Amino acid sequence: TAPADGFLLRVAVRPGDTVKADQVLVELDDRDLSIERLRWATEAEQEGRQATEALAREDRVQFAVHSAKAQQARAQLALVDAQLTRFRVSAPFDGIVLQGDLTRSLGAPVRSGDTLITVAPAGEYRVILEVDEYDIGRLAGGESGVVSLAASSGAQVPVRVTRVSPTSIVRDGRNVFEVEAQPLASDAALRPGFQGMGRIQAGQRSLWRIVAERPWLWLRQQLWAWGL
């Protein structure tokens, strides 16, 4: 996020780029702060020189006054230096840029807290499986399975269920539960946002039960709704 109000000066990355920890992603225009830094640095030097002259004259009062002013100026200078370092937004870890194409927004104003770049950690993926409400009762966590990604036809990534969401969401007119799974193998083909199909091992059932179970559950629900 933007560390302070300012204007975009330089953008070093675009979505899809891989970045290293501490790599500079975005720089804000710091000319105003640079001028303020120069002012405080000059004032600290002047007050320090006057304090030295007062000490040479053995004027303790003026020495104390100019020493205090010099110390205050140096404190303000340190504050400005800290703010200047924040005008360079760096990557907190190795990862890949997901969002934030700011190359056409150079010179545009930004407000403190505005989202500039979205970075995902490299290699630390999680898989979100959407499981129908009729099947969620068969998952408790720890089950293994495989995921086939649409972007890499034929490639299967082994996964293990780590968390089952306790609440459902509506997706394409049906209730589904989000189930988190952890990939068990590093795959260079994995990218954030990929979609595909997943298959989780949740026990064994006979074929006729698999085919008839959902229609039977639906029929039972309808009969109950009709009071039968």
N residues, the chain: 228
Give the pLDDT confidence of 54-87 residue by residue, as tens digits: 888 888 888 899 899 999 989 988 888 877 777 8
What percent of the chain has pLDDT above 90? Answer: 12
Q: State the amino acid at position 22 in one-letter form.
A: D
Query: What pLDDT shows up at residue 20?
Result: 92
Give yes or no for residue 148 having a pLDDT over 80: yes
Query: Is the CB of residue 132 less than 8 Å from the CB of residue 174?
Result: yes
DSSP assignment letter at 186: -
Query: What pLDDT shows up at residue 75?
Result: 92
Query: What pLDDT shows up at residue 161?
Result: 92
Give yes or no for residue 155 having a pLDDT over 80: no
How far, in Å, CA of 80 to CA of 40, rounded? 9
Query: What pLDDT shows up at residue 4?
Result: 78
Question: Cα Rg for the chain, rounded, in angstroms?
Answer: 31
Phi, psi of 126 (to 5 degrees): -135, 150
Query: What pLDDT shows up at residue 68?
Result: 92
How far, in Å, CA of 147 to CA of 161, rounded? 12
Provide mean pLDDT across the span 139-168: 85
pTM over 0.75: no
Give yes or no for residue 52 having a pLDDT over 80: yes
How far, in Å, CA of 101 to CA of 118, rounded? 10
Q: How far apart are the first and last CA of the chain?
A: 59
What percent of the chain has pLDDT above 70? Answer: 97
Query: Is the CB of residue 126 less than 8 Å from the CB of residue 94?
Result: no
